Structure 1
Amino acid sequence: MYTVIGDIVGSRSLKDRARAQQAILATLARVSSAMPLAQRLEPTFGDEIQGGFKTVADATLATLLIRLELHQLAHPSTEDTASAEPAPDLVVMRFGIGNGDVRVFELESQPIRQDGPGWHAARDAIDSLGRKPGTRYAGPTDSGWPAPAPVNAFLVARDGLVDTLNHRQRRMLLSALHGKPQKAIAEREGISESAVSQAFSKGVSAVRDAQALFGKA
């Protein structure tokens, strides 16, 4: 199993921690409904979340979807803000992905109580980031694919490219990852299809396609 641990970066700077936690719960629910899970996505203690996936591709995609969902909640489109309450603060997270066995002690507890090499690898991966946002992977180095070096090279490039996207482009990327066509994205954003096409050419399609190709590796 590929264990994912997420942690809020700069949580003390959040103006409303209760709303931030609500945003995290809403985000985990949305991502859980869109992806196959090996272990449920859930908050743990403090500012952390955890979950499990059958493939490294699903684990990396989940970290990207969580990041983009949180961003969309903080910076919604005009359509989303028409009758909604003010947006919550942007919650920024760092993620560690670990590969290895996980021993579950109490599946029905909330959060799940667990231990083992996979869980500790995810912890090592997130600790390697320090206090910076991003995603890192830790796993066996002598078992072929997925080796940590190429996975982390992909993650550094992917997350760096997402950093260059503006609020609207990140919402477009989230829609694209969910398979929405450009026409539907244009209608949601209230802009022309030509404007969406230009945004796709500036990085949106590159991230979407890179994530899809990584899933086939």
Structure 2
Amino acid sequence: MRRSLWPTVGDEFQAIFFTLGDALLTTSLVRLTLSEGVDCRFGLGRGETVNVDESAPGTIQDGSAWWNAREAIEETHRREHGTEPYLRSWFVSNNESESGTVALVKGFLLLRDASISSMRPRDRRLTAGTLLGYSQTELAHQEGLPNPRCRKVFDVRGGAALLAAHQKLRKGQLQ
């Protein structure tokens, strides 16, 4: 992260990431690690950030990245209350040369959010643990499950697919 998560107005928090892949992984982990019954939305925006007032407590920033993120969160809200109730994230970039990347990321977000929204609390914990680098043996022990049962839960409930998707994005160096 270029700038770690920080709270802003009301119930919002913001962050600046070095790569889009980092932003996607972090937002996955936030959703996966929230308490049962708690969820949040993410507006991911690509663009420039500019410091407006560095003397203020907590640097105030502006720029196309923030406006794109705001547009993305509004689109997330609109879609969530329309035909995609599982959706919690959207991505906006005004850079015409990366329309393929934008389409790829939006497709990833639709599938990721549907997968996470359908997970049970244990599924979320196992998936988060795996994304954080814990071994299947460690996770099985934490959950009080036999290792083969832990693996089956992970494979069947979407965790394995989400891990594979993040690995492919990382391997492709999604910038």
| Interval of TM-score (by shorter of Structure 1 and Structure 2) | 0.7 to 0.9
Question: Residues 1-217 of structure 1: matches in 2 within 5 Å?
Answer: 37-70=1-34, 74-75=35-36, 90-107=37-54, 109-130=56-77, 132=80, 134-144=88-98, 147-202=101-156, 203-217=158-172
Deviation at 1:141, TM superposition (A): 4.5
* Cα 1:197/1:117, change in 2 over 3 Å: same
Question: Residue type matched to 1:138 in 2?
Answer: V
Structure 2 alignment gaps of length 5 or more: 81-86
| Aligned counterparts of 1:165 and 1:58: Cα–Cα separation in 2 | 22
Aligned residues: 164
TM-score calculated relative to the size of structure 1: 0.70
Question: Residue type matched to 2:14 in 1?
Answer: Q
Deviation at 1:165, TM superposition (A): 1.5
Structure 1 alignment gaps of length 5 or more: 1-36, 76-89
RMSD: 1.8
| Aligned counterparts of 1:199 and 1:173: Cα–Cα separation in 2 | 10
| Aligned counterparts of 1:178 and 1:106: Cα–Cα separation in 2 | 36
Q: What is the identity percentage for the equivalent residue pairs of Structure 1 and Structure 2?
A: 32
Q: Per-residue displacement from partner, 1:163-185 (whole Å, max 9, x unpaired)?
A: 22211010000100011111000
| Aligned counterparts of 1:190 and 1:204: Cα–Cα separation in 2 | 18
Contact 2:33/2:124, CA 8 A, preserved across alignment? no
Runs of 4+ in 1 over 6 A off after TM superposition: none
* Cα 1:201/1:40, change in 2 over 3 Å: closer
* Cα 1:107/1:64, change in 2 over 3 Å: farther
Contact 2:31/2:116, CA 8 A, preserved across alignment? no
| Aligned counterparts of 1:215 and 1:102: Cα–Cα separation in 2 | 24
* Cα 1:54/1:118, change in 2 over 3 Å: same
Q: Per-residue displacement from partner, 1:66-108 (whole Å, max 9, x unpaired)?
A: 11221xxx24xxxxxxxxxxxxxx4311001111110112457
| Aligned counterparts of 1:122 and 1:63: Cα–Cα separation in 2 | 13
Contact 2:136/2:150, CA 8 A, preserved across alignment? yes
